[in-house]
Structure 1
């Protein structure tokens, strides 16, 4: 007979969003009984993979044992969630265990659907095909960049939604900067194949990015979606507005389409269209189940899916979930904040910070950092400050610059 266990709060996912939310709740209420459901033994600082692919970080610095980041007062359930029964306030785990809860927080992240590009999975890590979206492949990106002296390098961005929509560009700019420094950029044809119709979705940042597109001589190709890769032949096929187009490459940085985790998409919690957790974009409370919240990349809200967004969302979900636990209504709103530090060269970053409807939401006065211009200070923020803040602040419930503003009386 399957076990049945109860906790005040059950958090699905031990990634950045889940652990940050649990830590913020425990900071406010140390006696809270929280269980975090997470099968992985390792925890990754995923924003660091771009830097590893650019030769700035060594990949292992982005990885720590899950046990070292799990909140000490939380119960770590080392199992995967399999299904949700929200009418019964219950989650069923892969081993058949049933967890019941007073409040459920769903934060399993987004699923990288490599299989949606024919032939891609089979050739990753060889034949010049790489992706900074996987920990084990980021070092291969840097290996390819170091060894390429001529030929065609293709960087690809799939249709939205994807996590860190700037990451495909970051990989390209850092690669171009390395090739320029070695004096081989003029012998490499660099192409950016973007499924979208614009270089970047918030127009204020486009001029600075276009300056680098021109500086590096990048061939910008929009409205092109990769559908197949033939690794041994080094050919990639794109769906375009006029039909399919197959191009040869010497290096391909591929990014997979991304979808809701299947157990979320198949559940009563899913948004009918997207499959993500169907939540109010301001309170992050589920639209049908008031004691359920979504946080991070698995949520249906239309924000940029970045670690910075999760850092802003986690304290908001913490205070709103505690309010619901106390029989009250949510008390704080999320403004859609996300940040994308676009590494345009080694040592300079365009710090894109924006919220819903593309509204600019800078963290610093313009005289400190003008996010629409490449800046050295933004690079220091990305390379030095943000990793430290992640491990020592965000995951431990410290809410530096993201303390929620209480807008309603509980």
Structure 2
């Protein structure tokens, strides 16, 4: 069991030595299996963090542990599923997005020993670290739904934009749809990009109307939540949209089984004390799977009771181990899990980790900023931006709750370039400065 350590103390000789070095870029006596900074996870938060510190610490002092051959810009998958972008356009080789001077340990982390400052990989190698950043993202748990993932192969009308193996199945399924129920789901767990399950729904509605098939199709959104969106301002606008487009929304419904042979989807009524189920016939089914932090992290001593990396929501520093920080979806930070949140967190993490490496204390605080571009059609988007309290924190001095073509092009054309060329290279910490400038320096 882990020992609780005051955040003002460093816990090992290795950490004390590293604190004295600060950001020296000179060669050290580190072996290939020990790094001043070890980043577990090569997603958006992991790459951005590695880029920032590889420049500071120098070659051979930073490593990223990740087994993936490809790095995907997953926010693009909504557009891939709608036939607007290709899967190929959303990905680049992992080697090409990792920073120079950073070692790539092409393996998965299987266990953590924070008391000994080591991470063990799938091959059995133990990697030592002075400081650790956990950026493992979310795990997709399709198998928690009976009949999945097998149904994706058996029935091509079952699809999911959340997995690279199935996102290319979504648009062909829409093209094949002629009539019946098109069902979109939202699970009873935290998920990455909470707006994505309904973004594809609006794009499907747009396509079906354009193809002349909407009158024969019922669009149904079965969500485990009690509201359509967690921020009141944007929820009110979305309710107007679903009403105007004749989309049926069923709240507190959680998908538990898919029966591809009968084209049936079974949902539990979460408000029913006896766990009452409802069965829906489908002609098209888009599944958003239950998600969690990855199993190796959940099985470690680093998580809270909900299974997420236990960090301070303001400083991103682990509550027990001061040489460990977290970023992105796998953390306990109570905000929507998006690439925009990881970008804002990356600047806070950089300042606080740098301070601790230099023997100081954390000072910068994260305000919970995140963003969700709610695509509501092939040329319409509501740019939702908000903080920990669910209050709008909008970048532009206009009402971002309105559907706008400009915000759609921002989502489709600008954000991918910003991601590949600025964020992953460690230069983008979110729009806070831009917001201040556009609002003439006023607090917003």
Q: TM-score, normalised by structure 2?
A: 0.87
RMSD: 1.7
Contact 2:99 2:425 in 1 (8 A): yes
Counterpart contact for 2:348–2:366, Cα < 8 Å: yes
Tell me the residue number matched to 1:303: 335
In the alignment, which of 170, 187, 193 is matched to residue 216 of structure 2? 187
| Number of positions where the alignment pairs a residue of Structure 1 with one of Structure 2 | 399
Q: Which residue of 1 aligns with 2:109?
A: 81
* Aligned partner of residue 298 in structure 1, secondary structure: coil
**Selected match of 2:227 from 198, 204, 209:** 198
The answer to whether 1:320 aligns with 2:352 is yes
1:408 corresponds in structure 2 to none
Contact preservation (8 Å) 2:189, 2:292: no
State the distance in 1 between where 2:354 and 2:223 align. 42
Asked if the contact 2:318/2:326 (under 8 Å) is kept, the reply is yes
**Alignment map for 1:102-181 (pairs within 5 Å):** 102-127=130-155, 128-181=157-210
The 3 A distance-change label for structure 1 pair 71 and 239 is: same
Query: Whole-Å Cα distance in 1 between the matches of residues 283 and 84 of structure 2?
Result: 23
Q: Specify the SS of the correspondent of 2:360.
A: coil
Which residue of the partner structure matches residue 407 of structure 1?
A: none
2:59/2:102 contact within 8 Å kept: no
Q: CA shift at 1:136, angstroms?
A: 2.6
Does 144-153 or 294-303 show the bigger shift?
A: 144-153
CA distance in 2, matches of 1:403, 1:28: 23
Q: Provide the C-alpha distance between the structure 1 equivalents of 2:33 and 2:282, rounded to a whole number of angstroms.
A: 54
After TM superposition, the structure 1 = structure 2 runs for residues 169-248 of structure 1, keeping only pairs within 5 Å, are 169-240=198-269, 241-242=271-272, 243-248=276-281
Name which one, 1 or 2, has greater alpha-carbon Rg. 2
Deviations 1:202-224 (A, max 9, x none): 01001221222022211110010
Q: Distance in 1 between matches of 2:428 and 2:376?
A: 28
Corresponding residue for 1:47?
75
Residue 101 (1) aligns with residue 129 (2): yes
CA deviation profile, 1:67-99 (whole Å, cap 9, x unmatched)? 110111111111111111111111111212111
Q: Is the 8 A contact 1:279 1:294 kept in 2?
A: yes
Match status 1:257 vs 2:285 = no
Q: Distance in 2 between matches of 1:105 and 1:250?
A: 44
Q: For structure 1, which segment, 120-129 or 11-20, has the greater mean C-alpha deviation from structure 2 after superposition?
A: 120-129
Say which of 64, 67, 73 aligns to 1:36. 64
Asked if the contact 2:315–2:364 (Cα under 8 Å) also holds between the matched residues in 1, the reply is yes
Structure-1 residue corresponding to 2:312: 280
1:317-345, Cα deviation, whole Å (9 max, x unpaired): 12211111111111311111111101101
Task: After superposition, give the CA deviation of every residue in 1:263-322 in whole Å (9 maximum; x if it has no partner).
Answer: 111111111x21110000000000000000010111011110011111111121122111
Matched, 1:359 2:387: no
State the distance in 1 between where 2:429 and 2:348 align. Answer: 13
| TM-score, normalization by structure 1 | 0.94
Cα distance in 1 for residues equivalent to 2:330 and 2:352: 18
Unpaired runs of at least 5, structure 1: 405-410
**Structure 2: how far apart are the matches of 1:32 and 1:364?**
41
Alpha carbons 1:9, 1:34 under 8 Å: kept: yes
Measured in 2, the distance between the counterparts of 1:318 and 1:114 equals: 34
What SS does the corresponding residue of 2:424 show, helix, strand or coil?
helix
Aligned match of 2:423 in 377, 394, 400?
Answer: 394
Give yes or no for contact 2:344–2:429 (8 Å, CA) kept in 1: no
Residue of structure 1 in register with 2:9 after alignment? none
Displacement of 1:356 in angstroms is 0.2
Moved over 6 A (4+): none
Separation of aligned partners in 2, 1:159 and 1:357: 21
- Distance, in Å, in 1 between the alignment partners of 2:397 and 2:324 is 36
CA distance in 2, matches of 1:57, 1:4: 40
